[in-house]
Amino acid sequence: MEMKPPFRKIIHVDMDAYYASVAELDHPELRGKAIAVGGNEIRGVVSAASYEARKYGVKSAMSGVLAKQKCPHLIFVKTDFARYKEISSKIRGIFYQYTNLVEPLSLDEAYLDVTENKKGNPSASLIAEEIRQKIYSETGLRASAGISINKFIAKVASDINKPNGQKTINPEEVLPFLEQLPVNKFYGVGKVTAAKMYNLGIFVGNDLKKKSLEELVKLFGKSGAHYYNIVRGIHNSKVKPNRIQKSIAAERTFIENISSEIFMIEKLEHIAAELERRMIKSETKGKTITLKIKYSDFTQQTRSKTKTTFMQSKKDFFPVVKELLFQEKLQNSVRLLGLSFANLNTVIKEPVWVQLQFEF
């Protein structure tokens, strides 16, 4: 099995330090400073960090307390999702000027298939450069991009010349590139799998490529076939413009830890109301409700229940929430509670594909 033309032309656009850059855009006095979006030096978790803060080891999902220890001059700013969504909408509008095959991954990144595009431009690299320039001129924000024959390689490439850069991996460069790529950069290889590969002497793509399909399946189960293909440049996942949301959630971190279920019911009432609002706004219903509990020692627990009918209204799903809360005794005081819906009433619509071969 090997790569065969015609090759698709995929761009992965990734905004540079998006949340922090939006904060700098709205507050120019913050430019060039170490910024953490979300949390504070007492409570909460960092959602994003500016590049200046990252130099000190500050990163997303880190507690605000630890972030401040690593970077004493760190400036905390509040999240502003309404603003992030507003600018993200403008950026996606730019994408759609070039192609309808846009698959948003989040507010700040997306895949674009420009094999055929509205500009009739045969160069995906030039399209990516033009898109990045437009984003900057229309929003004041910088973006990086990766360009290649499939989503996986394009995503890896977008990280190579960050920030404010782009990298193209042409078809003839794909296999040599993958052979030198560290295995922890491969799609589907997490920390546990990477550690297992290291123990087997598999450190880069070339090491992985030496293993037969049978060996990889024996070592990694069904994922073995995926690793066998991906190191050979075979990754046929299409850009899905109708990518659906698989879950909807709402959560809250508390200023002080909570120990009583009675107080938690009050907090969950507010979280449930927000979840209901989001469900109604997205015209979504769900069957599986999950309660997320993060304890004061940062350990986390989830409790879920699936109903036979779809739910959207708080009056329908909140009794299930209370049932989940009292399902078992709490392990510790609680710093965060969250609710989410899965098994949503969404339908996947597959796009119609026509592949043509152009020069990169």
In three-state secondary structure terms, 10 is strand
Q: How many other CB atoms are found less than 10 A from the CB of residue 254?
A: 18
Tell me how far CA of residue 35 lies from CA of 12, 23, 215, 263, 287, in angstroms: 26, 9, 47, 33, 39
Helix 314-325 × helix 261-281 angle, to 10°: 140
> Is the backbone of residue 297 left (phi > 0), alpha (psi -120 to 50) or beta?
alpha
Alpha helices by DSSP H, 73-211: 81-95, 124-139, 151-158, 174-180, 191-199, 205-209
In the DSSP assignment, the letter for residue 221 is T
The Cα-based distances of 351 to 100, 120, 263, 333, 346 in angstroms read 10, 20, 48, 48, 16
Distance in angstroms (rounded) separating the CA atoms of residues 132 and 102: 15
CA dist 319 and 211 (Å) reads: 52
**Smallest Cα–Cα separation from 307: which of 347, 270, 278, 342?**
342
Instruction: Report which DSSP code applies to 42.
Output: S
**E strands within the chain?**
10-15, 35-37, 48-49, 75-77, 102-106, 109-113, 143-148, 166-168, 248-258, 286-295, 300-311, 334-344
Q: Is 109 a catalytic residue?
A: yes
Q: 333 with 259: CB under 8 angstroms?
A: yes
Catalytic residue (one of 109, 130, 251, 261): 109
Residues paired with residue 306 on neighbouring β-strands, in sequence order = 288
Place of tokens 């109903």: 307
How would you classify residue 17: left for phi > 0, otherwise alpha for psi between -120 and 50, otherwise beta?
left
Residues labelled as active-site residues: 109
